[in-house]
Structures are given as C-alpha cells and as structure tokens.
Chains A and B, each alone.
Chain A
C-alpha cells in the first residue's frame, strides 16, 4: 500500500469541485442556439384524450414547436420498453403495454406527458403550455395495488391490470413444512411507496447535427451506454453509432436515473424537428410526478418454526405496484431482486413466494436504493423478530439458531451464498450496542415516562450484479458484466476508462486507489473517465452496488494485462529475460540484481519504442478488459436500532444506532462509512417519514417537500459504524459492495425497535407520531412503564 492504495481513507478527489460549486451538471451545460422544452402533463390519473388543440400555443411568440403523440407516431418513434422478461406461473409472458414518450389516445397517470412545447426561452415554453387545450374524457382510476385487479382496466393487453403472476420456490414442500410446524408467525406488511428525490433533478439536452446526421444527448443517467442502446435499438431515434450519450456530473441517482424516460427521448427527437439543441430541466414538483418511484408492495407473509425455534418454512404473497407503465427494469425488482433474498441470513429449507405485479394509475415504479432487497429484508426481519417475541426467545438468540454457518450455501430461492460470518457481525454489534444493559436503559427511560425499544436487522443483500449467463436465464435483456480500459501515457500517468458511472459514489477516488495500489503511482497521476459513450467503451453503468465488485474487477483485469505488457517493455529496457522481471512498489527489477527501471521509464519506452522492434512487441501501453462476475456478492451485517417513544405524542426518537457490516475487502473505509450513513438515513426516512401517497382518484397528494417528509439531520442519531470482513471469493478484489446496505437494513431495525417499545406489532411505515400514537391507544391494556 502506498498510502493511497486499497484500504486507505483517502479524501475524495472529486469533492473539491463539488463543494466549491465547480461541478459540471447537465443543467450547467448550454449549447449554442439552445431552445427550451416544457412538458404539459396530465392532471388526470386516467382519461381518454378526445382532442388536443395546440394552435393557440403554437402562435405565441418564441414558440418553435408544439408536439404531441400524433407527431411522435408520424415520425415512427418507438415506445419505451422494459428490458427484463418475466413469465407468469402459467408460462405466459408479462403483459407489457405500449409506453409512448408522449401520450397517444389516453393518459394513465397524473403527470403522464401529453405534449411538449419547445420555445426560445423557458418562460415562453411554460406560457405556451398553458394555452394547449386538451379535451379529456375522465375515466375511473385505481392507485392502490391491493385494489388494482378489481379496478378499471388500464391497458388492453393486461386484463385485471395484471402484468404477471409469478412464483419462486417449491409450493408443495413449503406447504408440507407448514403443516408440520409447531408455530407459525403471520404478518401483513405494506412496504410504503417512496419518491427518490435525488438532489439534482433529472435533465436532458438533445442536439442534432445535420452535418454528420448524428445526435448528442447530455443526460442525468447512471448508465449512458444502456440509454444509448435503448434509444437506438428500441425507440429507434438514431443508429447506435450516430448517437452520443454524455452523463456529466450527476448529483445522486439512487436508481431513479437508471431508467430511460420519456423526456430525454422527446428532447432528442425535438432537436431534430426544430433544428436546435433542446434543453429540459425537471423541477422538484415535476420530479415527484415524473421520476420512477420505489417499493409499494402489499404482502402477506408467514414463517413456520419447529419446537426448537428453527425456521422450517417461509411463505410470501406480494402484490407489487409497477405503476401505469413498465419502467426499464421494473419487472425484475419485485421478482429476482426480491424473492431470491427471502432466505436472509438463515438456513430455511423451504421457501415459496408468489408475486403479482399490477398496473395502477400512478407513475411507474422501479429500482430505488436497495431495489427489492429492502422489501425482502423487511419481510424476513419482521417475521423473525415477531416470531422470537411470540416464541419467547431472545431475538438475537433466535437468529443465531437459524444462521447459515457453512459456505457455499445454496438457498431454496436460486442464490448460492459464497461467504459470510453472520455470527461475527451479530456478536460485534451486540457488544457495541451494549445489549446486555438494555434493560437498565429501558428502566431509565421509563422513569422519564418514555417507552424504550430495541430492534435488530440481520440483513443480507445480493450485489455485484451480475453473472450475465445467470441473469440471461432469468429473463434479463442485457448482460451485466463491466468494462474497463487502462491507458498509460508516455509520462506514466494513467487514464482509466470505466463503464461504471459515478453519481456520488466517489469512483474518481476509489478507482484511482486501485491503480495507485497496483502500479505504485500517486493517485494524483490517475484520472478516471466515465459517462461519455464517445470516450468510453460500452459499459453497463452503476446500480445495485456493482461498481466495486464488477467495475473495479474489470479495471483489475485490465491492470493485469498492462502489467504483463509493461514487463515485456521492461525486459527490453533492462536487457533481461521477461521471466526475470519483477514488478514491485512501482519498480521493475531484474531478479537477483540491482538493475531496475521506474514505472515512468517503462511507460516512456513503451511509446518511444527505441529498445525493441515493432515485430517483437507492439508499441504503446493500453489494455482493455470485460469482466463478467462468477456470482453475485453477498454483503451482510447486523444493524441495531434503539428508540424512545413518547407515549403521549407517539413521537419516535432514535437514540442509538449500531451498524456492523461485512462488505468484504474495503477500498476506502471513509467512503464506505459515508455510504452506510447515507443508506441508514434513507432507510430511517422510509421507516419514520417518507410516503408517496396517491388518493383514491389517483392524485398524488404528497407532491412537494411540504408534504413528503425527507429525513433531516435532526431525525438521525450519531451512528456507531463498524465492520467485520470475510473476503468475497467471487471476484479478484474480494469486495462485496456497500452502497445500498443501510437502506436495506434500516427499515426493519427501526420498526422492530418501535414495535418493541410500544408492544403492538401492527404499526405501518412510515411510523409517524399519529400512527404510533394510534397503535399505543389500540392496546387493550396499556403497557405500564415498568
């Protein structure tokens, strides 16, 4: 380690520009002649469009074009797609309804784009949008996933609004396990719907160059190559080689910027129509309506135990709301990213899970930090906690009895866990949280009239998505490998071109740490380049905590090739046999001699090529690699939340938080800790504050930060974060991924703590003061503060 290598808490290289306002986001970019787009959105959740009159709008000053679904169809612009095929239990394929970028014939959710105005200025575009007259025939709507099947049919292709009725696991064996069980714990769970709210709203600039007949799209995307592929191959706007997608600095994604949305497609298409670059920047109000939401599950779950507290079976039925249209990866979230994690950290012999995905008149639902895994963890960890309470077994002890202890472990739901030590993280967390003195603290709280509770979440997640062959067999339309190219310059500095994309994760630092570690050069001499399809080779982007395990593994593979080539150059330079060259601490040494060459010497000689002929060795030092993982990675850990509840107001205060995570090898502990902090904040937000609410008419009534409560510093405690390490055997770096862990672990820990404090299991998320107060009042015999 050079001090900036793997394991060093290096300060983030990118932060200087971010915290001094020198970042370069999509909206910071202005193109010569740029015009502005404003979308007219449906105020109705479900309506037929009888007519659209754009004439008044088109005649306003500054207006360049007013476009609707009719023009989109005339130009034969294709629909947006969902790229993961799921089949129902009966073998039928999922019912994917057409999703045009501008509504054609009907609107299916409040916010569905109906028309776009392109004008010289944004105020002109907004004024003109006011003048568009749409005659709607309002139809009945349904927003609640539990009522979707009985609600008005939204799409012709999907009777009973059912997209698929999917199942995983062995039903007969699971039913048999339940039949012989000593005890069954049952829960009805709603995993509340969330609005992502990345700090930077989405934005797009489309530009058409008539000279080269090619397009450029600047876009807030987490995966520019995937966006280019979908827009060219499915939407059909331009051939892939005639479309450049640039994702500059992106201010947070949390999944919501993975997807290919209508607005960027329209901005690109409109730029050719009007012959001018077209910029669209979402505002916060619009983001609530138009960004894909997360979660929104309604679940009934049952866990069966034998007489020793061993889990013998798990049965889950979930209704998953996918919204009005199927977003890019929506189908995979409540299936292969959810049901496959239902074994948690436990050796459960039989699991059967059914998932019904439904359309509703709400904005599409897709991946949001954790994507399926927070939902799975919540189901498993609530069941285990409630089961322990019902069986009268200490919750940590019940977990211990059921932990998986040997690896690899094949679960009944596809996954093969490669490594972990769940007992170790639990033990360490109990110690840090001072669990043995919890009763004392509880009594102390009671003296002050407060109800104290403690909740556990021993979560697991699957990251490093994913082995391409495996996901292909499960219906994925793409491979999930990653690419890298390492370019060594003649002066020895290095550019890493990665197919991953950083939107807050700190890749410019951590990826440079890997290079620094391997080549022994300072991280200042390493640049990380990403997010531009004209610069970087095809890559799959960043989501699912994959950039370390998959993205960095690709870089490591390219670095292996660079080192091998550099050794050849060094052997000529040092006039020694290639086999005698050792590379250590940034130096090439001839074994057993004092002859050596520096990294910079070798880099220079690779390019000047004076010491070898082109027939012996190609000049230059640049290598690329595609890395396809052999397995998912399985970060896991134990979070313990301690709360105090005010019985008079129902207010929950988090008074303690312990997180002990096993992320495998850690590249930068400071960045990892930051990821844990942020993840917990989002998880606490889900558990206590956040809820995207549609009323029964399909109107979004939590459409601003006045009504949608984001977590603030005051809602969060000072966390105690620690780690245990089991090396991941499934990638060369031994890393697992840390980006989503907090958001996955936290909701169950909070609700387990709140229900422990109050003594009532039926408390919904978010556990607002009103919900908790009502739960306290619902107790037949109020629990006396002991």
Chain B
C-alpha cells in the first residue's frame, strides 16, 4: 500500500550547486520537516530524530536516513525509516533527479514512496497521502529556499 507521488521544482542554481546542497547534512536537517537532529554516521548515512503528526497521531521518530544510488550530479535516492514507538513506524524514500534547465538553473524532480504502520496506519490511513504530500512539499520548499536564498528573502 505504499503511497507514491511525483513532483518537480525549478531551482535558480546550477546542477553542481544543487547537488552539493543535497549532500550537506546541515541543509538536509533544515529541510526535513520536524527534524530535531541529524547526525552523520558516514558519507551516506545519518541518524535522525524528527517529530511529525499524521492525522491524530503525533510521534517522535528515531531512525536512519540513507543516501543511495549516488550519481553526481544527476541525482540520488534519499530514504529513511523511523520508529515511532507505540505510534508505529514510517518509512519512505524519494528518488531525486536533477536535470539542467534552459535558463541555467536546475529542474529537481522527485518520486516519493512512503509506507506507514501500526497506529499511524490504523488511524491515519486516510490522511497519509495528504500528510506525505505536505511533508514532501515542505522539504522541497525549504530546499528551494536554501538553494535560492535571495529569492526567498
């Protein structure tokens, strides 16, 4: 029942710059919704704590964020799985693809897949698509802001 969705954002920065920021833990931390900490364990592995609310269930997720399929500067897959204790679990990932835009910027397109379980699924199933979309939107909105600081100012 994994839920899936796709989207794209246009960024006013060249691909190489976007790629660097996609691999910068500080940028990721500021973009992951509800992220309290993101500790780098290796170049591609992080430990994260994030608090999020899906429908009536609010949970503090502890888990791993992993970067895989690295193909600089074309894209990668960012995936995470979090254990929310009695609230259940959430896991998911986004395949991120960077393509150069005609104006010298970058088109970032993403395909998200998310899965939830336990109480989150029991109570939040109908809301999960909306919630996941909102979380993804938040992530990429903030990421766009990080890449285009002037535009957002």
Contact = CB atoms under 8 A, between A and B. Distances in A.
Contact of A701 (B86, B88, B122): B122
A63 interface: no
Given A43-B117, A44-B117, A700 B122 contact: yes
Contact of B85 (A130, A697, A701): A130
A701 B89 contact: no
A43 B1 contact: no
A704 interface: yes
Given A43-B119, A110-B117, 16 more contacts: A43-B118, A44-B117, A110-B118, A129-B86, A132-B85, A285-B122, A695-B1, A695-B121, A697-B117, A699-B118, A700-B121, A701-B1, A701-B121, A704-B123, A706-B123, A707-B126
A703 B122 contact: yes
B116 interface: yes
B81 to A, nearest CB: 9
B115 interface: yes
A579 B130 CA distance: 83
Contacts of A288: 122
B125 interface: yes
Interface in B30-75: none
A128 B88 CA distance: 15
Nearest to A130: B85
Most buried by B among A288, A696, A702, A704: A704
7 contacts: A41-B86, A42-B118, A43-B89, A43-B120, A699-B122, A700-B121, A704-B122
A353 interface: no
A289 interface: yes
Given A130-B86, A697-B1, A285 B119 contact: yes
A40 interface: yes
A699 B86 contact: no
Interface residues of B, number: 16
Interface of A: 40-45, 110, 126, 129-132, 285, 288-289, 695-697, 699-704, 706-707
A420 B115 CA distance: 54
Contacts of B118: 41-44, 110, 699
Contacts, number: 62
A131 B125 CA distance: 25
B127 to A, nearest CB: 10
Interface in B82-119: 85-86, 88-89, 115-119
Contacts of B125: 695, 699, 701-703, 707
A43 B126 contact: no
Nearest to B87: A43
Contacts of A40: 86
Given A43-B88, A43-B89, A130-B86, A699 B116 contact: yes
Given A40-B86, A130-B86, A697 B115 contact: yes
B131 to A, nearest CB: 14
A45 B117 CA distance: 9
B30 to A, nearest CB: 28
A364 B87 CA distance: 22
B130 to A, nearest CB: 14
Contacts of A110: 117-118, 121-122
Most buried by A among B86, B88, B122: B122
A347 B93 CA distance: 60
Contacts of A126: 86
